[in-house]
Amino acid sequence: MQTPDELYIDLLKKTLTFSLWPEPPVPLGIFGRRKHSTRRKMAQGINRMLSARGLLLAEVPAYSAEQRAGGEVWPGYADTMAGLHRLNNVEQCVRQVVADGVPGDFIETGVWRGGTCILMRGVLKALGVSDRRVFVADSFEGLPQPEMDRYPQDKGDALYDYDFLAVSEETVRGNFERYGLLDDQVVFLKGFFADTLPDAPIDQLAIMRLDGDMYSSTMDALNNLYHKLSPGGFCIIDDYALPVCAQAVEDFRKEHGIDEPLEPIDNFAKFWRKAA
Ligand SMILES: C[S@@+](CC[C@H](N)C(=O)[O-])C[C@H]1O[C@@H](n2cnc3c(N)ncnc32)[C@H](O)[C@@H]1O
């Protein structure tokens, strides 16, 4: 039989991923299109006119429950893109470091609507842990443009042009509040990682979860945070299926002689545990 904290965390994961309900239609022009695409602008124009009459044009999502659980789609309504399998991994990592007394805070670099960090905070609350913080690191205005002089590996990356990926700090704070989980154990680091992570007020980490999609975002997080990860801590790579992200991880592991096994979480993400 599930204990009350297991029941709470289970419900939290299902709510954050919006998997208790079928996905409702999503207003046309909201996502999956670049900022200046003509189709997107036309759809938004039509919806502006229709909204005066209380109507809107919407598309019915074509993805399956399995694709949502696997975090393989950009969801319309969930508070995280990660999907249930990856949230299970986050829960397990939090439980493990708490059970083993691995010292340190938690961070996610690249939070979007904040759902994965909300889960971290919720699990700490359920376990009665009050001496660990959750760092919420994001520009809160989407991805950066590729910086060809620092990271030529990002050549051609166009994710900066999708404002679906830009969620404001105010919205993310509001999301934490809706779950009753915004307090002083949650610390926001606003700005691009290259600017915020070098001087972030973090001494020790027990979990670092990277979800910044690009070579630069992944490498900036590894370079600035991995040495703060305690032995026995977890390094989770959400975007391992993206070739540039895998490349950054492999380059970093090779340069630093990291040979702890990379374990799959689902078809997309991987993680490893730093040797104790
Ligand atoms: C795929 S989304 C993250 C999804 C999120 N982890 C979740 O559970 O739904 C990528 C996020 O990374 C942020 N991001 C990517 N690169 C960044 C960088 N270099 N600096 C700051 N934020 C960045 C974007 O603003 C966006 O919110």
**pTM score of the predicted model:** 0.95
Q: Cβ distance 240 to 229 under 8 Å? A: no
Residue nearest (by alpha carbon) to ligand 1 atom 13: 110
Q: Which pLDDT band holds residue 13 (cuts at 50, 70, 90)?
A: very high
pLDDT at 32: 59
Residue nearest (by alpha carbon) to ligand 1 atom 11: 110
Domain edges within the chain: 83-273
Q: How far is the CA of 112 from the centre of ligand 1 (A)?
A: 5
Alpha carbons 111 and 115: distance in angstroms, whole number: 7
The preferred substitution site among 143, 153, 154, 162 for testing ligand 1, maximizing ligand atoms within 8 Å of CB, is: 143
Is residue 213 in contact with ligand 1, taking CB distance under 6 Å? Answer: yes
Q: Cβ distance 225 to 217 under 8 Å? A: no
CATH topology of domain 83-273: Rossmann fold (3.40.50)
Q: How far is the CA of 212 from the centre of ligand 1 (A)?
A: 4
In this predicted structure, the answer to whether residue 120 has a pLDDT above a threshold of 90 is yes
The 10 Å Cβ neighbour count of residue 148 is 10
**Rounded mean pLDDT of the chain?**
95
Digit-coded pLDDT (tens) for 79-112: 999 999 999 999 999 999 999 999 999 999 999 9
Is residue 81 in contact with ligand 1, taking CB distance under 6 Å? Answer: yes
Q: Cβ distance 273 to 260 under 8 Å? A: yes
Per-residue pLDDT, averaged over 225-250, amounts to 98
